[in-house]
Amino acid sequence: MATTQTRAVPRGGAAVAEPGQAELLRVGMELLHESDPGLAKLLDAEVRAQRDTLAMIASASLADPSVLAAAGSALSNVTAEGYPGARYHPGATAFDQVEELAVARAKRLFGARYANVQPHSCSSANLAVLVALIPPGGTLLGLDLDSGGHLSHGSPASVTGRHYRAVHYGLDATGRIDYAQVAELAAKHRPHVLIAGASAYPRTLDFSRFRAIADSVGAYLVADISHIAGLVAAGRHPSPIDVAHITTTSTYKQLGGPRGGLILSGVEHRSPGPGGRDTLEGLIQRAVFPQTQGTANPAAVAAKARAFALAAQPRFRRTMRRVVSDAAALADELTRLGYRILTGGTDTHMVVVDLRERGLTGLVAERALEECRILANRNRVPGDDQPPMVAGGLRLGTNILAQRGLGPDETRECARLLHAVLDATTPLGATAHSVDPETAVEVRAGVRALCERHPVPAAGPPIS
């Protein structure tokens, strides 16, 4: 990779090297190693850990090195409030163009008519949308946290549950969203906003059905596709863009982007907001800045622009196809091995395992797996009596496996490795455990072999 950029060669002279972004990143890494070796060592260790670990975290994906470079760019030094052409600070010429590029790419990727790329996270995006659409003390209807919903959908632990009256729907006996209950609660509570979206729900969301319910009570429909944005962009999950009034997402979970959020709207972007005060897009623009955020993060916006470009490529669409087939294989193999999988399978990247019958808590399973270099996070399951920090289930995802090129057969191998660990784990209460040492050695070797066959781009020498 080139480390300097060159200006045009002056007539009769040599090319004049111009320190560019690549040079800045190179010098930065050198300085970090020289002057802060402790911190540099931690950063390097993380690169190796990611290379040598089977990450099945459902809410994660690998950012391409070019995305990481954009996120670490000199745009970080730009302070800018407001939007392109209407900033409250000078010096945003390049950032204006970067933000316009990110907005244009986001719209193209999702077939949207409006995009706001400034939210620092999906939680901030959701807060901004609720601020725009619900009057103080108004009502929202979202999926219950224990049924797979998210904190920012009105949980009492979140500001969204304290400042609004939050009502929650749940799941039916098969573990799928109970749309009849959604309709019933909507009719009873007449929410200002209905949220369709989940953190731990492995099935297709029926956005049209949600919209019909929202329309029946005059509510705005907000689709939160934080977990499935890659599948939506790649046409592997129905798109809510023209069905919901507003769609929100994280940019890092499945889009291979930086930490951050994104707000989108489709054909109704200019339809009236509550009380006809303004258009939806006008309200959202102001709700992000200045109502809920200050300065933008220009480097993150650049990294989003890069990630959106990559997600528009055929390679990303192939990866998303593999994400889904890997998850189906994972669910199938775990079922064969005797695990109870919520809803009996998956339509997405996600598989949620109920561990309660096996006498293991989610926390014990998570720790035992991490000891053997497999990452999956504990998750509460419907009817769970464990607290959230302990939980009775495990949430798995195949985004990173697919990005590394693991197909369904290798994903089945991952399921068998996971089973080997859990089968060799003795719980010592709800939070402590021991793993049979011989099994741990064997599993770590299996993980290492898989990781070597499917490397993460740009990683260093192996962990010994």
Ligand X SMILES: Cc1ncc(COP(=O)(O)O)c(C=O)c1O
DSSP at 1: -
> C-beta of 261: minimal distance to ligand X in Å?
5
Which part of the chain contacts ligand X (CB under 6 A), choosing from 194-202, 378-386, 395-403, 420-428? Answer: 194-202
Should residue 204 be labelled a site residue for ligand X when binding is judged by CB under 6 A? no
C-beta of 353 vs 415, nearer to ligand X: 353
Nearest to 337 by CA among 427, 444, 414, 446: 414
Should residue 123 be labelled a site residue for ligand X when binding is judged by CB under 6 A? yes
Per-residue CA distances from 155 to 125, 141, 323, 400 (Å): 16, 11, 30, 29
Entry field: residues in the chain = 464
C-beta of 377 vs 425, nearer to ligand X: 377
Should residue 199 be labelled a site residue for ligand X when binding is judged by CB under 6 A? yes
> C-beta of 251: minimal distance to ligand X in Å?
8
C-beta of 19 vs 156, nearer to ligand X: 156
Should residue 142 be labelled a site residue for ligand X when binding is judged by CB under 6 A? no
Nearest to 250 by CA among 61, 5, 33, 447: 61
* Rounded (10°) CA dihedral 105, 346, 152, 101: 0
> C-beta of 229: minimal distance to ligand X in Å?
10
C-beta of 123 vs 155, nearer to ligand X: 123
C-beta of 257 vs 446, nearer to ligand X: 257
- 10 Å Cβ neighbour count for 19? 12
Q: What does the per-residue mask of binding to ligand X show for 378-397, with x meaning CB under 6 A?
A: --------------------
Nearest to 459 by CA among 55, 71, 49: 49
Should residue 222 be labelled a site residue for ligand X when binding is judged by CB under 6 A? no
Should residue 152 be labelled a site residue for ligand X when binding is judged by CB under 6 A? yes
> C-beta of 439: minimal distance to ligand X in Å?
31
Q: Which residues are CB-contacts of 324 (< 8 A; sequence separation ≥ 6)?
A: 231, 236, 347, 348, 349
Radius of gyration over every alpha carbon of the chain, rounded to an integer in angstroms: 23
Which part of the chain contacts ligand X (CB under 6 A), choosing from 8-16, 116-124, 176-184, 432-440? Answer: 116-124
> C-beta of 124: minimal distance to ligand X in Å?
7
Which part of the chain contacts ligand X (CB under 6 A), choosing from 106-114, 222-230, 330-338, 428-436? Answer: 222-230
Interface residue with ligand X among 196, 198, 263, 329 (CB under 6 A) is: 198
Residue type at 13 in one-letter notation: G
C-beta of 153 vs 404, nearer to ligand X: 153
Token digits for 93? 């010429």
The angle, 0 to 180 degrees and rounded to 10, between the axes of the packed helices 408-423 and 362-371 is 110
End-to-end Cα spacing for the chain? 28
> C-beta of 122: minimal distance to ligand X in Å?
3
Q: What does the per-residue mask of binding to ligand X show for 57-76, with x meaning CB under 6 A?
A: --x-----------------
Should residue 299 be labelled a site residue for ligand X when binding is judged by CB under 6 A? no
Should residue 122 be labelled a site residue for ligand X when binding is judged by CB under 6 A? yes
Q: Within a 13 Å sphere around the CA of 155, how many CA atoms are in the beta-carbon half?
A: 16
Should residue 116 be labelled a site residue for ligand X when binding is judged by CB under 6 A? no
Q: Which residues are CB-contacts of 438 (< 8 A; sequence separation ≥ 6)?
A: none
- Specify burial of residue 127 (Cβ count, 10 A radius: 0-12, 13-18, 19+): buried
Should residue 160 be labelled a site residue for ligand X when binding is judged by CB under 6 A? no
Q: Is 247 helix (H, G, I), strand (E, B) or coil?
A: strand
> C-beta of 123: minimal distance to ligand X in Å?
3
Which part of the chain contacts ligand X (CB under 6 A), choosing from 21-29, 131-139, 219-227, 274-282? Answer: 219-227
Should residue 283 be labelled a site residue for ligand X when binding is judged by CB under 6 A? no
Should residue 87 be labelled a site residue for ligand X when binding is judged by CB under 6 A? no
Total residues in contact with ligand X, by rule CB under 6 A: 14
> C-beta of 310: minimal distance to ligand X in Å?
19
Per-residue CA distances from 165 to 122, 135, 194 (Å): 20, 11, 12
Interface residue with ligand X among 139, 247, 250, 285 (CB under 6 A) is: 250
Distance, CA of 403 to CA of 142 (rounded, Å): 31
Phi, psi of 19 (to 5 degrees): -60, 120
Interface residue with ligand X among 51, 105, 107, 150 (CB under 6 A) is: 150
Should residue 348 be labelled a site residue for ligand X when binding is judged by CB under 6 A? no
DSSP string, 106-126: HHHHHT-SEEE---SSHHHHH
Q: Which residue ranges make up the site for ligand X (CB under 6 A)? A: 59, 121-123, 150, 152, 197-199, 224, 226-227, 250, 261
